Amino acid sequence: MLVITGANGTLGSLVVERLLARVPATRIALSVREPEKAQRFAEQGVRVRHGDFEDAAALAHAFEGVTDILIISAAAVGEVALRRHRTAIEAAKAAGAQRILYTSHMGASKDSAFPPMKSHVASEELLTASGVPFVSLRNGFYASTPLRYLGPAIATGKLIAPADGKVSWTTHHDLADAAAIALAEPTKLHGITAPLTSNVAHDLADVARIASEITGKPIERVVVPDEEYERSLVAQGLPPIAVTMTMGLFQAARAGDFAAVSPQLEQLLGRMPQTMRDVIPR
């Protein structure tokens, strides 16, 4: 049984769709906090059970019969993320998983200014210590992220943000394809992968230029000091953790944490990965 956690999320649901094209629905099981939201998959013959990283007993039931499992990383950082991942890894091992796949990040590092990167490294250490064969999918940074800045920029003609750096923005669709392939074909990937990224890295100035070309609307990249931008986030009412995450992203990008590109994803997909030109709205 191929088990997928977090299958109601953006990435998880795409993985299920891709996997259904590769293996019979009866080989797929979902562990989700809200089973009713996965009804469309249940109707196709996929097993859907309640599972929660905060509930080991629920995971034991959701993981029953598992051979290979995709643990989609929790939407948390620090000790909370590590606790949830430890619970999921231990439950997978106890259920007899022969292989654990985990959605890590290409910028995973103990020294990164972006908090989730430290959580990913710690979780990879848990996987190693578990003794279960594993694949840590070092996914590229989601290409949906810069689109959040483009919306207002297209309207105002100014993309305003702190200084950044090159990022190998990668689409959910490509990463979902990669995860489905890795689940269905166990010989494809082992251990901590090379970065699973687009073949090109862009900074926000590049994104503004590409968006200008696509939309026909001139967009200027405006760099503001970190302190000024942070004050604007606080003024918008963002919670402290969101402010820390946002500022950490820019700091890590400047340090080059997300600039690496690798042919690994292209080789796995058997085609060119999508780029920002493919995702910016026309």
pLDDT tens per residue, range 100-147: 999 999 999 999 999 999 999 999 999 999 999 999 999 999 999 999
72 token code pair: 């989609």
pLDDT tens per residue, range 136-157: 999 999 999 999 999 899 999 9
Asked whether 180 and 123 are in contact (CB, 8 A), the reply is no
CATH superfamily, domain 2-143+171-197+261-279, is NAD(P)-binding Rossmann-like Domain (3.40.50.720)
C-alpha span between 179 and 177 (Å, rounded): 6
Quick one: CA dihedral 231, 236, 237, 241, positive or negative?
A: negative
- What pLDDT is stored for residue 282 in this prediction? 80
Q: Does the predicted model carry a pTM greater than 0.85?
A: yes
Asked whether 265 and 271 are in contact (CB, 8 A), the reply is no
Give the residue extent of every domain in the chain.
2-143+171-197+261-279
